[in-house]
Amino acid sequence: MIRAYKFLLRPTARQTVALGEMLRDHRSLYNAALQERRDAYQHASKTSIKYGDQSAQLKEIRAFDPERQGRWSFSSQQATLRRLDKAFQAFFRRVKAGQTPGYPRFKGVGHFDTVTFPKDGDGCRWDSTPHDAQTRVRLQGVGHVRVHRHRPVQGRVKTISVKCEGNRWYAVLACDNVPAEELPPTGGNVGIDMGITHFLTTSNGEHIANPRFLQVMADELAEAQRHLATFPKRTRQRTKRHRAAAQKVAKLHAKIRRQRADFHHKTARALITDHDVIAHERLNTAGMAKSPAPKADPEQPGTFLPNGAAAKAGLNRSILDAGWAQFLGILANKAERAGRLMVLVDARNTSRTCPDCGHVAKENRVTQAKFECVRCGFEANADHVGATNVLNRAGLVLCAAA
Ligand SMILES: [Zn+2]
């Protein structure tokens, strides 16, 4: 089994400077490689440059710039070039599919936050001082960095990524051969309905409140963002105050991210502990979070009809804030580790179907919160009905599979 671990790093002041430089130099490598591909694409009769071509140049780049590029791990630089290659492959795949994707973009400061070492022992070493009580990770060009290892690492460390979030640094390990930690069977099954009013509702009728961290911290964040916006957008050299303002925003975002992840982990753990089978709807957050297409007004050319974008923007924000996709990822991970079964069901009409008589009608859903069947009169909380339908459908899926 594969598992990821994320640990806070405690670098010294000198190491913090080196980590920043490592990120900066990987970012400029990424941007330079992107520039080269752009130039080739625009000028040289649309010939394209491949990952292999750019990787082959690495040796020269390192020799040419030993102070900066020559200082870091060859493999981590290859990983950065591969990341760019992935961005291009995704771009061309979408072009081919007839979509209109954005061309891969240059990464500004703060938009390139990770350096990956594809193999433990190559430019990096996990637990580099095994005889020391303190766990450390050795990073080429940085040194032995202290790790706040808050839980034991199991399995074999495959890759190590170093990530910057706000002003914190983390090591993310991907391990394989991690033994499963199966939980004893409980005999309980559950369906979950994810919503806006509640983060989720179970088929047992239990509501888990939406934490809305963004809303709670919205004032503070808005204030910090307003302050940041008073500084010029494009500038050669940021002032101390400008940097501090940007850091404040980043810090708040990072705090929200941490709180949300913590909430997701706790919620998922509770579900996994109490149930053998967990059923949920197949989500389409990409479609849900997209803004509606503008509708041109046929009466007055050049103007647009209201399309509900403003109302939807608020909903989008709640959806993104709720972070369902992230939660389901965490849930799936924990389920696999504990030997629990996750069942995905079709989301269609789960909120409109009567769990008692099976009648499907839009009118069954009286309000956001209330369900009342127009045929048999069955009444219940709408989210609870949704979760019950999800569980019922999972039962059908499981019967069909057996
Ligand atoms: Zn009914």
Residue-wise DSSP of 119-171: STTSSEEETS-TTSSS-EEEETTTEEEEEE--S---SEEEEEEEEEETTEEEE
Amino acid at residue number 394: A
The residue behind tokens 């080269």 is 36
Buried b (16+ CB within 10 A) or exposed e, 361-375: eeebbeeeeebbbee
pLDDT for 288-321, tens place per residue? 555 555 555 666 655 555 555 555 555 555 555 6
> How much distance in Å is there from the Cα of 395 to the middle of ligand 1?
19
> How much distance in Å is there from the Cα of 349 to the middle of ligand 1?
14
**In 3D, which of 87, 81, 73, 65 has the Cα closest to residue 33?**
81
pLDDT for 287 equals 53
> How much distance in Å is there from the Cα of 351 to the middle of ligand 1?
12
pLDDT for 314 equals 58
> How much distance in Å is there from the Cα of 394 to the middle of ligand 1?
20
CA distances from 221 to 202, 255, 256 (A): 32, 11, 10
Alpha helix segments (H runs only) across 292-323: 309-322
> How much distance in Å is there from the Cα of 210 to the middle of ligand 1?
29
CA dihedral defined by 219, 286, 166, 130, rounded to 10 degrees? 140
Residue 19 to residue 11: CA distance in whole angstroms: 9
pLDDT higher than 60, residue 262: yes
More confident residue, 205 or 301: 205
> How much distance in Å is there from the Cα of 320 to the middle of ligand 1?
33
> How much distance in Å is there from the Cα of 9 to the middle of ligand 1?
56
pLDDT for 253 equals 81
Q: For the chain, give the mean pLDDT.
A: 87
> How much distance in Å is there from the Cα of 49 to the middle of ligand 1?
61
Rg over CA atoms, the chain: 25
pLDDT for 56 equals 87
Does residue 176 contact residue 2 with C-beta atoms inside 8 Å? yes
Tokens coding 281:
């709807």
Out of 79-88, 127-136, 233-242, pick the least confident: 233-242
CA distances from 397 to 252, 271, 335, 346 (A): 43, 20, 18, 10
pLDDT for 309 equals 55
pLDDT higher than 80, residue 155: yes
> How much distance in Å is there from the Cα of 360 to the middle of ligand 1?
8
> How much distance in Å is there from the Cα of 190 to the middle of ligand 1?
21
Q: Residues 83, 81, 261, CA angle at the centre, nearest 5°?
A: 30
pLDDT for 191-202, tens place per residue? 999 887 788 999
More confident residue, 348 or 11: 11
> How much distance in Å is there from the Cα of 375 to the middle of ligand 1?
5
pLDDT for 160 equals 97
Share of the chain above pLDDT 70, in %: 87
pLDDT for 277 equals 95
**DSSP bridge partners of 8:** 148, 170
